[in-house]
A = this chain, B = another copy of it.
Amino acid sequence: MAVTVDIDRVTCPLPIADYPHVLLGHGSGGKLTAELIQRVFLPAWENDTVAALEDQAICDWSAPVVGVKGHQGLRLAFTTDSFVVRPLFFPGGDIGKLAVHGTINDLAVGGAIPQYLSAAFILEEGLPMADLRRIVESMRQACDEAHVELVTGDTKVVDRGKGDGVFITTSGIGLVPGERRLSIHSAQPGDRVLISGTIGDHGVAIMSVREGIEFETTLASDTAPLSGLTEAMLACCPAIRCMRDPTRGGVASTLNELAAGSGVGVRLNESAIPIRDEVRAACELLGLDPLYVANEGKLVAVVPRADADKLLQAMHAHPLGRNAADVGEVVADHVGLVVLNTLVGGQRVVAMLSGEQLPRIC
């Protein structure tokens, strides 16, 4: 059955109107962020690595460097992320833990083995020193757990009212074993789409704190380092096409990027998508679609059909993949579109996030 939508309207990340000012939505991870990247950043940095639009740069050293040996052929992954989440502390984590996990995960989903992190702090004058200590201690624990080393940092302080407590920017370096070539451009019709666990936990945990919503059980962020899971997955199935951690913009935006990047369609089965009851209930209460809600310890993987069952078993065997599920497939139809087979038997297009539904979620 054909889905009749204006594909150009849905997939084109460039609305005609130019924005004279930065909007909150430009940080959403959705359509407006894509537009900002396409219109402002990419024209300035036209190199193959940036243009690949992955969450991490894979630097292939091929040119000789005087006096340096051994780097040629080495494949280094490099990534950076700023964290501006509010509140600073939330069930299941804090801004520091998030900053460490987020950068580890951007390396891991690129097939890299995380090695070194940096952390740059922008503190607002008046931040309680106890809060900073708590955040730093949390980052240390997160580094230790993931076996990465924080090796360099920076601190700046801005005057009261010109920041918001603390912003943290982490960057990370990882090593990519030579044979790995994961790419958002490599999905093929017939591939299966797997999700490593329940979706929406992080975003809803943050929102429930902000909105003061209480549930019988505590909703906690899923923030976690995915490098152990990705290594287990790649050991089991080196043919994984690509992995992504669906943070800002959620699973919907990630799969839209995949559909556009690989020139394919994606078909999701709503009934297969793992969602906690509390998350579903909170989303209904708040008017959110869980497909757009941020995750901080989950990944989406695209894998050849023949490997899907084996990979799913490997994921189930890992603590962070216990609830992994096969949620859909890559199709040759409706190129650039993600279409959901709904619970009630209908179909709907799941577009990229427009505007901003959950500002400052990470």
- A22-B123, A118-B171, A157-B27 known; A50 vs B129 contact (CB < 8 Å): no
Closest to A248 in B: B156
State which residues 64-99 of A face B: CB under 8 Å: 65-74, 76, 78-84
Interface: A258 (CB within 8 A): no
Are A68's CB and B20's CB within 8 A? no
Binds B, one of A158-166, A259-267, A272-280: A158-166
- Choice from B61, B82, B132, B175 contacting A40 with Cβ under 8 Å: B132
Are B24's CB and A149's CB within 8 A? no
- A149-B47, A152-B79 known; A126 vs B178 contact (CB < 8 Å): no
Interface: A122 (CB within 8 A): yes
Are A151's CB and B44's CB within 8 A? no
- Choice from B19, B37, B65, B139 contacting A113 with Cβ under 8 Å: B65
- A22-B127, A116-B59 known; A78 vs B152 contact (CB < 8 Å): yes
Are B68's CB and A154's CB within 8 A? no
Are B21's CB and A128's CB within 8 A? yes
Are B178's CB and A67's CB within 8 A? yes
Closest beta carbon of chain B to A97's beta carbon, Å: 13
Are A50's CB and B152's CB within 8 A? yes
CA distance A124 to B167 in the complex (A): 13
Interface: A56 (CB within 8 A): yes
Closest beta carbon of chain B to A320's beta carbon, Å: 20
Are A26's CB and B153's CB within 8 A? no
Residues of B within 8 A of A217 (CB): none
In the assembly, how many copies of this chain are there?
A: 2
Interface: A307 (CB within 8 A): no
Residues of B within 8 A of A183 (CB): none
CA distance A119 to B73 in the complex (A): 25
- Choice from B50, B74, B82, B153 contacting A74 with Cβ under 8 Å: B74
Residues of B within 8 A of A59 (CB): 115-116, 151, 173
Closest to A68 in B: B175
Closest beta carbon of chain B to A64's beta carbon, Å: 11
Residues of B within 8 A of A152 (CB): 49-50, 56-57, 78-80
Interface: A228 (CB within 8 A): no
Residues of B within 8 A of A150 (CB): 45, 47, 50
Most interface-central of A45, A157, A175, A360 (chain B CB within 10 A): A157
- Choice from B22, B67, B122 contacting A132 with Cβ under 8 Å: B22
Residues of B within 8 A of A22 (CB): 123-129, 132, 157
Which residues of A does B touch, CB under 8 Å? 18-27, 33, 36-37, 40-41, 44-45, 47, 49-50, 56-57, 59, 61, 65-74, 76, 78-84, 113, 115-116, 118-130, 132-133, 136-137, 139-140, 143, 149-159, 161-164, 167, 169, 171, 173, 175-179, 359-360
8 additional A-B residue pairs with CB within 8 Å, beyond A61-B115, A163-B164: A20-B128, A20-B129, A21-B125, A27-B158, A40-B132, A50-B150, A50-B153, A80-B118
Write 17 A-B pairs (CB below 8 A) sorted by A numbering.
A20-B128, A20-B130, A22-B127, A26-B157, A36-B155, A50-B151, A57-B118, A57-B152, A59-B151, A65-B113, A66-B177, A67-B178, A81-B120, A82-B120, A122-B169, A156-B167, A159-B359
